[in-house]
Amino acid sequence: MANKASILMDPNVWIVDTGATSNSTFDNSGMKGIEETKTNITMGKGKPVSSSKMGDLKVKVHNKFGEELFNARIQQVAHVPEENLNLFSPTQRMKQGWKLGGNDESIWLDKGKKRITFDIVIPTPKGAIYCAYLFRQGSEVAATSQVQKKISVNLAHMSCLDMVMRAVQEKFQKHWDLRLIAVH
Protein backbone atom coordinates (compact mmCIF):
# COMPACT_ATOMS: atom_id res chain seq x y z
CA MET A 1 0.00 0.00 0.00
CA ALA A 2 2.93 2.37 0.61
CA ASN A 3 3.72 2.28 -3.12
CA LYS A 4 0.12 3.15 -4.04
CA ALA A 5 0.01 5.94 -1.45
CA SER A 6 3.14 7.53 -2.95
CA ILE A 7 0.97 8.62 -5.88
CA LEU A 8 -0.55 11.20 -3.51
CA MET A 9 2.71 13.15 -3.64
CA ASP A 10 2.25 13.76 -7.39
CA PRO A 11 1.40 17.48 -7.86
CA ASN A 12 -1.31 16.51 -10.37
CA VAL A 13 -3.15 14.00 -8.16
CA TRP A 14 -5.99 15.53 -6.14
CA ILE A 15 -7.84 13.89 -3.25
CA VAL A 16 -11.55 14.65 -3.09
CA ASP A 17 -12.24 15.61 0.53
CA THR A 18 -15.83 16.35 1.53
CA GLY A 19 -14.52 17.73 4.82
CA ALA A 20 -12.30 20.30 3.07
CA THR A 21 -13.81 23.77 3.03
CA SER A 22 -11.06 25.01 0.72
CA ASN A 23 -8.77 23.63 -1.98
CA SER A 24 -5.15 23.25 -0.96
CA THR A 25 -1.91 22.18 -2.62
CA PHE A 26 1.65 21.56 -1.52
CA ASP A 27 3.03 22.74 -4.89
CA ASN A 28 2.35 26.22 -6.25
CA SER A 29 3.58 25.34 -9.77
CA GLY A 30 1.22 26.79 -12.35
CA MET A 31 -0.68 28.98 -9.89
CA LYS A 32 -1.90 32.25 -11.38
CA GLY A 33 -3.25 35.37 -9.72
CA ILE A 34 -1.30 34.59 -6.57
CA GLU A 35 -2.17 36.76 -3.61
CA GLU A 36 -0.21 36.93 -0.39
CA THR A 37 -2.45 35.91 2.53
CA LYS A 38 -2.21 34.94 6.16
CA THR A 39 -4.75 32.15 6.29
CA ASN A 40 -4.96 29.43 8.92
CA ILE A 41 -6.44 26.14 7.76
CA THR A 42 -7.47 23.37 10.13
CA MET A 43 -6.40 20.00 8.75
CA GLY A 44 -7.19 16.48 9.96
CA LYS A 45 -7.07 15.86 13.71
CA GLY A 46 -7.52 19.61 14.26
CA LYS A 47 -3.97 20.43 13.18
CA PRO A 48 -3.74 24.12 12.16
CA VAL A 49 -1.47 25.00 9.24
CA SER A 50 -0.88 28.35 7.64
CA SER A 51 -1.01 29.39 4.03
CA SER A 52 0.80 32.49 2.86
CA LYS A 53 -0.36 32.29 -0.78
CA MET A 54 -3.64 31.73 -2.61
CA GLY A 55 -4.24 31.53 -6.35
CA ASP A 56 -6.00 29.77 -9.21
CA LEU A 57 -4.86 26.72 -11.16
CA LYS A 58 -5.72 25.89 -14.76
CA VAL A 59 -5.88 22.11 -15.15
CA LYS A 60 -6.71 19.48 -17.74
CA VAL A 61 -9.09 16.92 -16.28
CA HIS A 62 -8.11 13.33 -17.16
CA ASN A 63 -9.78 10.01 -16.53
CA LYS A 64 -7.88 7.20 -14.80
CA PHE A 65 -6.73 5.89 -18.19
CA GLY A 66 -4.97 9.17 -18.99
CA GLU A 67 -7.47 10.43 -21.55
CA GLU A 68 -7.79 14.21 -21.51
CA LEU A 69 -11.43 15.19 -20.97
CA PHE A 70 -11.64 18.99 -20.66
CA ASN A 71 -9.96 22.10 -19.27
CA ALA A 72 -10.98 23.51 -15.90
CA ARG A 73 -9.89 26.10 -13.37
CA ILE A 74 -9.57 25.41 -9.65
CA GLN A 75 -10.16 28.71 -7.91
CA GLN A 76 -8.86 29.95 -4.58
CA VAL A 77 -6.26 27.26 -3.99
CA ALA A 78 -4.31 27.69 -0.75
CA HIS A 79 -0.59 26.89 -0.92
CA VAL A 80 0.24 24.63 2.06
CA PRO A 81 3.73 23.21 1.35
CA GLU A 82 4.07 21.21 4.58
CA GLU A 83 1.10 18.96 3.80
CA ASN A 84 2.62 17.14 0.77
CA LEU A 85 -0.74 16.45 -0.89
CA ASN A 86 -3.54 18.20 -2.77
CA LEU A 87 -7.07 18.45 -1.39
CA PHE A 88 -10.04 19.20 -3.65
CA SER A 89 -13.16 20.61 -1.96
CA PRO A 90 -16.35 19.26 -3.57
CA THR A 91 -18.47 21.43 -1.27
CA GLN A 92 -17.11 24.55 -2.98
CA ARG A 93 -18.21 23.08 -6.33
CA MET A 94 -21.65 22.19 -4.96
CA LYS A 95 -22.15 25.89 -4.10
CA GLN A 96 -21.42 26.58 -7.79
CA GLY A 97 -24.13 24.18 -9.00
CA TRP A 98 -22.14 20.94 -9.30
CA LYS A 99 -23.89 17.74 -8.17
CA LEU A 100 -21.99 15.23 -6.05
CA GLY A 101 -22.37 11.47 -6.56
CA GLY A 102 -20.47 8.30 -5.85
CA ASN A 103 -20.24 4.57 -5.28
CA ASP A 104 -17.54 2.17 -4.12
CA GLU A 105 -15.54 2.69 -7.34
CA SER A 106 -15.51 6.48 -7.63
CA ILE A 107 -16.79 9.85 -6.49
CA TRP A 108 -17.85 12.37 -9.11
CA LEU A 109 -19.05 15.90 -9.64
CA ASP A 110 -21.43 16.70 -12.53
CA LYS A 111 -22.40 20.04 -14.02
CA GLY A 112 -24.09 20.12 -17.40
CA LYS A 113 -22.16 17.77 -19.69
CA LYS A 114 -18.96 17.91 -17.62
CA ARG A 115 -17.96 15.32 -15.04
CA ILE A 116 -14.91 15.27 -12.79
CA THR A 117 -14.41 11.68 -11.64
CA PHE A 118 -12.23 10.76 -8.68
CA ASP A 119 -11.62 7.15 -9.72
CA ILE A 120 -8.03 6.56 -8.73
CA VAL A 121 -8.78 4.51 -5.62
CA ILE A 122 -6.22 3.92 -2.89
CA PRO A 123 -7.45 1.37 -0.33
CA THR A 124 -6.94 2.17 3.35
CA PRO A 125 -7.48 -0.12 6.36
CA LYS A 126 -10.96 1.34 6.96
CA GLY A 127 -12.03 2.59 3.53
CA ALA A 128 -10.44 4.27 0.54
CA ILE A 129 -9.00 7.54 -0.74
CA TYR A 130 -10.50 8.72 -4.03
CA CYS A 131 -8.32 10.80 -6.34
CA ALA A 132 -8.37 12.41 -9.78
CA TYR A 133 -5.59 13.33 -12.16
CA LEU A 134 -5.86 17.09 -12.79
CA PHE A 135 -2.85 18.05 -14.91
CA ARG A 136 -1.50 21.52 -14.14
CA GLN A 137 -1.25 23.72 -17.21
CA GLY A 138 1.59 26.16 -17.70
CA SER A 139 4.03 24.58 -15.29
CA GLU A 140 6.89 22.15 -15.21
CA VAL A 141 6.04 19.24 -12.94
CA ALA A 142 8.50 18.24 -10.26
CA ALA A 143 8.83 14.61 -9.26
CA THR A 144 8.17 14.15 -5.58
CA SER A 145 10.48 12.11 -3.44
CA GLN A 146 12.77 12.86 -0.56
CA VAL A 147 15.03 14.57 -3.08
CA GLN A 148 13.11 16.48 -5.71
CA LYS A 149 14.31 16.57 -9.28
CA LYS A 150 12.66 17.84 -12.42
CA ILE A 151 11.21 15.31 -14.85
CA SER A 152 9.22 15.80 -18.01
CA VAL A 153 5.47 16.18 -17.83
CA ASN A 154 5.02 13.09 -20.03
CA LEU A 155 7.21 10.95 -17.78
CA ALA A 156 5.30 12.10 -14.67
CA HIS A 157 1.99 11.35 -16.38
CA MET A 158 3.14 7.91 -17.54
CA SER A 159 4.44 7.09 -14.04
CA CYS A 160 1.04 7.91 -12.56
CA LEU A 161 -0.78 5.88 -15.21
CA ASP A 162 1.57 2.94 -14.70
CA MET A 163 0.64 2.77 -11.00
CA VAL A 164 -3.07 3.00 -11.82
CA MET A 165 -2.82 0.28 -14.48
CA ARG A 166 -0.98 -2.03 -12.03
CA ALA A 167 -3.79 -1.53 -9.51
CA VAL A 168 -6.40 -2.32 -12.21
CA GLN A 169 -4.48 -5.45 -13.24
CA GLU A 170 -4.31 -6.61 -9.60
CA LYS A 171 -8.06 -6.14 -9.22
CA PHE A 172 -8.77 -7.94 -12.52
CA GLN A 173 -6.44 -10.82 -11.61
CA LYS A 174 -8.27 -11.39 -8.30
CA HIS A 175 -11.60 -11.39 -10.16
CA TRP A 176 -10.26 -13.84 -12.76
CA ASP A 177 -8.92 -16.21 -10.08
CA LEU A 178 -12.32 -16.24 -8.34
CA ARG A 179 -14.07 -17.12 -11.61
CA LEU A 180 -11.68 -20.04 -12.20
CA ILE A 181 -12.32 -21.41 -8.73
CA ALA A 182 -16.09 -21.14 -9.20
CA VAL A 183 -15.95 -23.10 -12.48
CA HIS A 184 -13.90 -26.01 -11.10
59-101 pLDDT, tens digit each: 999 999 999 999 999 999 999 888 888 999 999 999 999 999 9
Domain containing residue 168: 2-183
What is the tally of structural domains in the chain? 1
B/e letters for 111-146, b = 16+ CB within 10 Å, e = fewer, are eeeebbbbbbbbeeeeeebbbbbbbbeebebebbee
More confident residue, 154 or 64: 64
The stretch 123-144 carries a mean pLDDT of 81
For 47-50, the CB contacts below 8 A with 24+ separation are 49/80, 49/82, 49/83, 50/80
Instruction: Render pLDDT for 8-32 as a digit per residue (tens, 0 to 9).
Output: 889 999 999 998 888 999 998 999 9
Beta bridge partners of 130: 121
